């Protein structure tokens, strides 16, 4: 299975992105639980899940920084 591309995450809407982040975090928790109970056979799933979570969080951070940059900063030089 190939790792997902970050472009797939960038194409998600804000709500879909938040839902996907929660789903991937839940999946990572389940993998840890399976590993603790020695039922996990495919250890590479950790790598794939962490990679996907990193992509999603990166896109979320990019969007937050872009939204913050678009907000007009109050001009301190002009006092009325």
Task: Give 14-33 pLDDT, tens digit per residue.
Answer: 999 999 999 999 999 999 99
Please give the pLDDT value at position 77.
65
Cβ contacts of residue 56 below 8 Å, gap of 6+?
Answer: 9, 17, 20, 21, 24
Report the C-alpha gap between 49 and 52 in whole angstroms: 5
Please give the pLDDT value at position 71.
81
Domain locations along the chain: 11-59
The 8-class DSSP code of residue 30 comes to: H
Tell me the three-class secondary structure of 42-57, residue by residue: CCHHHHHHHHHHHHHH
Cβ contacts of residue 34 below 8 Å, gap of 6+?
Answer: 40
Listed as ranges, residues in the chain with pLDDT below 70 are 1, 75-80
């Amino acid at each position: 299975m190939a790792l997902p591309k970050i472009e797939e995450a960038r194409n998600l809407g804000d709500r879909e992105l938040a839902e996907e982040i929660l789903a991937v975090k839940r999946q990572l928790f389940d993998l840890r639980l399976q590993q603790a109970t020695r039922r996990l056979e495919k250890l590479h799933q950790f790598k794939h899940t962490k990679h996907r979570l990193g992509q999603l969080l990166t896109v979320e951070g990019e969007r937050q920084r872009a939204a913050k940059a678009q907000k007009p900063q109050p001009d301190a030089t002009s006092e009325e």
